Amino acid sequence: MMALVVLWHSVLFPHADISSVGLTVGWLLPLMLPLPGILKGKPYTHAWANFILMFYFLHALTMIWVDEGKQGIAIAELILTSISFLANVKYAKLRGRELGLGLKKLSQVEKDEKAFFESSN
């Protein structure tokens, strides 16, 4: 995804009024924010990184709809963001389960609260 962003904004379709470096950094920086946590294998980081990916997903959909000349690269962006999104969800779910970070079911929470309040009376 990072390579695609750099190629798109600095090589394939550079913007005439804005520097390639500025555009590349502006589009690349959000992808780099979750990188340390992703490299460390933190499931929470994989989960919230999907919020950042949604900007790129929406950008791809917009470019597919609006700009016929960039549809090919926009489809590549859409595919990469979709794969990244699904991979992040799967990793966060599996790794979170492995670490015991799952959420309790509502029925269990209710039972725990009932037991707590009954024992304090």
Which residues constitute the domain of residue 65? 33-120
Q: What is the pLDDT of residues 12-47, one digit of tens each?
A: 887 777 777 777 778 889 999 999 999 999 999 999
Interatomic CA distance for residues 59 and 109, integer angstroms = 40
Mean pLDDT (the chain) is: 87
Full DSSP string of 6-57: HIIIIIIS--SSS-HHHHHHHHHHHHHTTHHHHHTT-HHHHHHHHHHHHHHH
Flag the least confident range among 33-42, 60-69, 91-100, 102-111: 102-111
15 inside domain: no
Domain assignment present for residue 52? The answer is yes
Domain membership of residue 62 (yes or no) is yes
Reported confidence tier of residue 121, pLDDT bands at 50, 70, 90: low
Neighbour tally for 31: CB within 10 Å = 18
Q: Is 66 part of any domain?
A: yes
In a domain, 26, yes or no: no
Number of domains in the chain: 1
Do 5 and 27 meet the contact criterion of CB atoms below 8 Å apart?
Answer: yes
- Is 57 part of a structural domain of the chain? yes
